[in-house]
């Protein structure tokens, strides 16, 4: 496999494959079918060459011909895309970015997912140098309303679902800082929706504060949250931008094209 420098575009060594990629890119740029003439003009390929390659792609179901002389992307690409998607794993996508974020902050970085009325810790990057006891290990659970990631998931729910959650759980608290009133929780969730991040201000454990950003899949659905935990007097607000950038990086690895690069 050839190694390339970042930012350097490498063209295929086989000309027909390069042309095939160009044709697929043109078809992908439009939702509706495109005429052979327009495809040829956009790619700069001779109509006969364009026709020959498209017909070969149609044989493999990579391209459809809804009517004579027009083409669009085929169902085989959807099948392959779904296969790739099924192999994407949030934990696998997050491992390296989490470690990089931990190296920057020297504080525990947590990957959590929702399961019912709780979040579950599925991965953690930490070291003994963080100076903070890691109380909740991988597989540990915590109520949604007491955690930064849990608040992100509640913020993604509609108001009726949030009220139902409050009724089911009673918004039981763990510390004197815990949010136990629906009105206060709703204000907190409103801020999470506005800023795209959520916080835990010693609400789950005294002496520990957290900040979290969401991880989204290719459909824009919140599938996990990334959080930094730190001693209450050591949580650095300057980490927030890097936290969001790392969550966006993981989202892009899951196929989310709307996640910002910043």
The whole-angstrom separation of Cα 251 and Cα 262 is 13
pLDDT higher than threshold 60 for residue 191: yes
Q: Which long-range contacts (CB under 8 A, 24 or more apart) does 125-131 make?
A: 125/95, 125/98, 125/99, 125/101, 126/102, 127/102, 130/106, 130/230, 131/231, 131/234
* pLDDT for the residue numbered 69: 87
Phi, psi at 153, each rounded to 5°? -70, -40
Q: Which residues have a Cβ under 8 Å from the Cβ of 246 and sit 6 or more positions away? A: 97, 98, 100, 101, 213, 226
* pLDDT for the residue numbered 3: 43
* pLDDT for the residue numbered 80: 82
- Tell me the per-residue pLDDT of 32-76, one tens digit each, with 9 for 90 and over: 999 999 999 999 999 999 999 999 999 999 999 998 889 999 988
DSSP 10: -
* pLDDT for the residue numbered 2: 42
- Tell me the per-residue pLDDT of 65-110, one tens digit each, with 9 for 90 and over: 998 889 999 988 888 877 666 666 899 999 999 999 999 999 999 9
* pLDDT for the residue numbered 174: 94
pLDDT higher than threshold 60 for residue 132: no
Which residues, listed in sequence order, are joined to residue 200 by a DSSP beta bridge?
Answer: 210
**DSSP labels, 131-173:** -S---S-TT-EEEGGGSHHHHHHHHTS-HHHHHHHHHHHTT--
Mind listing the domains of the chain with CATH numbers?
15-85 (1.10.10.10), 88-253 (3.30.450.40)
* pLDDT for the residue numbered 79: 83
Percent of the chain clearing pLDDT 90 (strictly above): 68
Average per-residue pLDDT for the chain = 88
* pLDDT for the residue numbered 193: 95
* pLDDT for the residue numbered 5: 47
The whole-angstrom separation of Cα 258 and Cα 20 is 27
Percent of the chain clearing pLDDT 70 (strictly above): 89
pLDDT range class, residue 4, cuts 50, 70, 90: very low
């Amino acid at each position: 496999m050839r190694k390339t420098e970042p930012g350097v575009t490498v063209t295929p060594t086989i000309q027909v494959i390069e042309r095939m990629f160009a044709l697929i890119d043109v078809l992908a740029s439009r939702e509706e079918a495109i005429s052979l003439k327009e495809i040829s003009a956009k790619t700069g390929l001779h109509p006969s060459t364009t026709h020959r390659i498209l017909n070969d792609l149609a044989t493999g179901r990579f391209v459809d011909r809804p009517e004579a002389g027009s083409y669009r992307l085929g169902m085989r690409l959807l099948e392959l895309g779904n296969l790739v998607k099924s192999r994407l794993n949030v934990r696998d996508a997050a491992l390296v970015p989490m470690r990089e974020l931990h190296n920057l902050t020297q504080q525990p970085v947590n990957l959590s997912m929702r399961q019912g009325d709780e979040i579950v810790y599925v991965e953690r990057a930490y070291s003994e140098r963080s100076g903070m006891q890691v109380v909740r290990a991988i597989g540990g659970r915590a109520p949604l309303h007491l955690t930064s990631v849990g608040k992100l998931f509640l913020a993604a729910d509609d108001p009726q679902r949030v009220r139902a959650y409050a009724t089911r759980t009673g918004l039981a608290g763990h510390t004197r800082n815990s949010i136990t009133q629906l009105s206060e929780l709703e204000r907190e969730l409103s801020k999470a929706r506005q800023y795209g991040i959520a916080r835990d201000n010693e609400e789950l454990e005294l002496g520990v504060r957290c900040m979290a950003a969401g991880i989204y899949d290719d459909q824009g659905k919140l599938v996990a949250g990334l959080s930094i935990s730190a001693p209450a007097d050591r949580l650095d607000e300057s980490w927030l931008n890097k936290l969001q950038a790392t969550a966006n990086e993981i989202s892009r690895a899951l196929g989310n094209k709307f996640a910002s690069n910043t």
